[in-house]
Amino acid sequence: MNREELESELERLHGASYAWSLSCCRGDREEAEDVLQESYLKTLDGRARFAGGSSFKTFLFGVVRRTAAERRRRTWLHRLALAAWSRGPVEALHPSKSIEARSSRLEGALARLAARQREVLDLVFAHDMTVEEAARALGISTGSARVHYDRGKKRLRQALGGHQP
Amino acid sequence: MSPAGDDDLRRLFEERRTADEGKAPPFRKLLGRGRSGARPARIGPAGLATAAAATLALAVSLALFHRSPQPAISIEEWKAPTDFLLDFSYPSLLDTIPAPEAVPDYSLLLATEKGTTP
């Protein structure tokens, strides 16, 4: 894919990518925009190369997830260092206050799930991926993704207070 | 991949995704921001203090380094900073060889230590 084709694909998937980035950043809009911007740049300048082994969407979502994880790790270490340096309160390590309150019923129920379960369900239900594609985007085995999917769905239904099929 | 029984979950997730997609900034704006440079980092008071201290330390070390430029001297004029250690007040001691009779007689001392007398 040349640069124009890549840009065109990125633009086509922009809305969904932003929604996924927002999920990876636990609702922090500023962080989600930074992560998405960095992911686009990685894709366009070749730091993240699309080899064609999966769909472009699966590839891009994988880049977004990895970028969010890297930033989270950096931010955490940065806050830890600052807290140690300034002997600040431990609260400084908690997520930033810019996290948007997404207080829907689904959001409350998802908060009770493990991160991996949440991610697999999000990719399958919100982004129409198969479990295999979700596994590829998350960099885990299909078997592992299937376990997260089944357990996550069960726990989500319990949290939503609904029936269990 | 999800069976038909999961339609309720799918609907909930799709509603959430649609709402999130609506908040997305324009693609070109986001990409343009990336080309012209990333969003400036959010630096707190502690970060500013660290940066100020580092700048000050750098300035002081640069000032000390360039404080008094030393004129270049030739190798013949150069003296090692430890040369003064070689200055000896009694050079005559090094110029003469002690005569054999000048060596002290230690025989008495040795005999006393052994408990005998010569």
Of B21, B33, B39, which has the smallest distance from its Cβ to A18's Cβ?
B21
Q: Does A101 touch chain B (CB under 8 A)?
A: no
> Each residue of B14-53: b (16+ CB within 10 Å) or e?
eebbeebbeebbebeebbeebeeeeeeeeeeeeeeebeee
Contacts of B50 in chain A (CB under 8 A): 85
Least CA distance to B40: which residue of chain A? A34
Residue B85 — very low, low, confident or very high, per pLDDT cuts 50/70/90? Answer: confident
Chain B partners of A29 at a C-beta cutoff of 8 Å? 23
* DSSP tag of B72: P
- Residue B23 to residue A7, Cβ atoms within 8 A: no
Looking at the complex, report in whole angstroms how far the Cα of residue A129 sits from the nearest Cα belonging to chain B.
Answer: 7
Interface touch B34/A38, C-beta < 8 Å: yes
The most distant pair of C-alpha atoms in chain B lies apart, rounded to whole Å, by 121
Give the closest of B8, B23, B38 to A29, CB-based: B23
Contact A75, A88 (CB under 8 A): no
Separation of alpha carbons A26 and A59, rounded Å: 21
Question: Where are the alpha helices (H) located in B3-103, listed in sequence order?
Answer: 7-22, 27-35, 45-65, 91-95
Query: Is residue B16 a contact partner of residue A107, using CB atoms and an 8 Å limit?
Result: yes
Percent of chain B surpassing pLDDT 90: 8
Chain B residues whose CB is inside 8 A of the A165 CB are 5
pLDDT digits (tens, 9 = 90+) for B25-47: 999 998 887 554 445 555 667 77
Question: Does B13 sit within 8 Å of A121, measured CB to CB?
Answer: yes
Q: Which of B3, B27, B2, B25 shows the shortest CA–CA distance to A122? A: B2
Nearest to A54 by CA among A146, A128, A134: A134
Q: How far is A161 from chain B (nearest CA, A)?
A: 12
Taking all residues of chain B, what is their mean pLDDT, rounded to a whole number?
75
Q: Which residues of B fall within a CB distance of 8 Å from A88?
A: 46
Within 8 A by CB and 6+ apart from B47, the residues are A82
Chain B residues with CB under 8 Å of A156 CB are 9
Q: Rounded distance, CA A96 to CA A125, Å?
A: 28
Q: Tell me whether 0.85 is exceeded by the ipTM.
A: no
HSE of B70, CA atoms in CB hemisphere, 13 A: 6
pLDDT top residue among B83 and B100:
B83
pLDDT at B89 over 70: no
Q: The whole model's pTM is what?
A: 0.61
Run means of pLDDT, 10 residues per run, chain A, 165 residues: 88 93 88 92 89 88 93 81 65 46 73 92 92 92 95 91 56
Q: What are the tokens at B46? A: 């502690």
On whether any CB of chain B is under 8 Å from the CB of A2, the answer is no
**Amino acid B1: pLDDT:** 47
Candidates A70, A141, A148; CA nearest to A113 is A148
Query: Which positions in chain B touch A86 (Cβ < 8 Å)?
Result: 46
Helix A3-12 × helix A29-44 angle, to 10°: 150
